[in-house]
Amino acid sequence: MLHTSIPILQVTSSERAEAFYCGRLGFTLEFAYRPFGAVDPCYMGVVRDGVMVHVSSFPGDGSKGSACVVLCTDVDALYAEYTAKGVAIDTKPVEQEYGTREMYVKDEDRNSLRFSQRRPRP
């Protein structure tokens, strides 16, 4: 029955968030809802390779400093792409004991995107 889950990350500024997620991490803006005509508050969706993340500057939509896991096929290629763009890497690619290779990136509001690649089992 269940199909997918979309995290909502709370941010202070939708403009800074869009610049980071789209300009630095390679996501594309799918939509932005600004009901009061101002830049903020804003509820937006960004997507990359079919993975959607919602970002909100509305009060009550999540809390700053949250985390979401983004499954990917090649953490090291993503690491190379992001370091070439000057993205600060919070945790470099590391082998986890629970069978993944992961890298963490944080936005300006300390939300953590944990890019995770499953490793083949021996």
Number of domains composing the chain = 1
In a domain, 29, yes or no: yes
Residue 92's pLDDT band (cuts 50, 70, 90): very high
- Residue 17's pLDDT is what? 98
Per the document, the length of the chain is 122
Mean pLDDT of 113-117: 97
Domain presence at residue 2: no
Would residue 83 count as lying in a domain? Answer: yes
Residue 93 near residue 79, CB atoms below 8 Å: yes
- Tens digit of each residue's pLDDT (9 = 90 or more) over 5-43: 999 999 999 999 999 999 999 999 999 999 999 999 999
How does residue 104 score in pLDDT terms, banded at 50, 70 and 90?
A: very high
CATH code for the domain of 80: 3.10.180.10
Instruction: Please state the pTM of the whole predicted model.
Output: 0.93
Residue 119: what pLDDT?
86
| Residues of the domain holding 28 | 8-118
Among positive and negative, which fits the CA dihedral 20, 45, 117, 104? positive
The first and second tokens of residue 11, run together, are 């941010």
Distance CA 99, CA 69 (A): 14
Q: Confirm whether 3 is domain-assigned.
A: no
Q: What is the pLDDT of residue 122?
A: 65
> Over the chain, what is the mean pLDDT?
96
Residue 1 lies in a domain: no
Asked if residue 21 is part of any domain, the answer here is: yes
Residue 62 confidence (pLDDT) above 90: no
Mean pLDDT of the 60-82 span: 95
Q: What torsion, rounded to 10 degrees, do the Cα atoms 44, 117, 112, 108 define?
A: -70
Q: How many whole angstroms separate alpha carbon 13 and alpha carbon 55?
A: 10
Mean pLDDT of 82-92: 97
**Is there a contact between 11 and 28 (Cβ–Cβ < 8 Å)?**
no
Handedness of CA 32, 57, 23, 80 (dihedral sign): negative
Q: Which two tokens stand for residue 41?
A: 């508050």
